[in-house]
Amino acid sequence: MSLQEEIIAALGVKPAIDVEAEVQKRVDFLKSYVRQAGAQGLLIAISGGVDSAVAAGLCKRATDELTAEEGKEYMTLGVFQPYGEQEDIEHSYAVAEAFGLTRKVETNIEEAVNEIALEVEHSLKALGQHRHITHQGKGNVKARTRMVMQYALAFENNLLVVGTDHASEAITGFYTKWGDGAVDITPLSTLNKRQVRQLAVYLGVPAEVVTKAPTAGLWPGQTDETELGITYDENSDYLEGKPVSPEAAEKLERYYKRTAHKRNVIPGI
Q: What is the pLDDT of residue 216?
A: 63
**Which residues are bridge partners to 105 per DSSP?**
79
| pLDDT per residue as tens, the chain (269 positions) | 899 999 999 999 999 999 999 999 999 999 999 999 999 999 999 999 999 999 999 999 999 999 999 999 999 999 999 999 998 899 999 999 999 999 999 999 999 999 999 999 999 999 999 899 998 999 999 999 999 999 999 999 999 999 999 999 999 998 999 999 999 999 999 999 999 999 999 999 999 999 987 776 655 666 777 778 899 999 999 999 999 999 999 999 999 999 999 998 888 89
Q: What is the pLDDT of residue 220?
A: 66
* Complete DSSP assignment for 143-177: HHHHHHHHHHHHHHHTEEEBP---HHHHTTT-S-T
Q: What is the pLDDT of residue 8?
A: 98
Q: Which of 169, 180, 184, 237 is catalytic?
A: 169
Rounded Cα gap, residues 201 and 208, in angstroms: 11
Q: Is residue 169 annotated as part of the catalytic site, yes or no?
A: yes
Phi-psi region of 217 (alpha: psi -120 to 50; beta: other; left: phi over 0): left
Q: What is the pLDDT of residue 221?
A: 65
Q: What is the pLDDT of residue 109?
A: 97
Q: What share of the chain is helix, strand, coil (3-state, %, to 5)?
A: 55, 5, 40
Phi–psi pair at 126, nearest 5 degrees: -65, -25
Q: What is the pLDDT of residue 267?
A: 86
Q: Which of 5, 6, 22, 51 is catalytic?
A: 51
CA Rg value for the chain = 19
* Closest C-alpha among 195, 182, 200, 187 to residue 30: 187
Rounded Cα gap, residues 165 and 51, in angstroms: 8
* Closest C-alpha among 33, 31, 29, 55 to residue 44: 55
Rounded Cα gap, residues 167 and 157, in angstroms: 30
Rounded Cα gap, residues 83 and 86, in angstroms: 7
17, 191 Cβ separation under 8 angstroms: yes
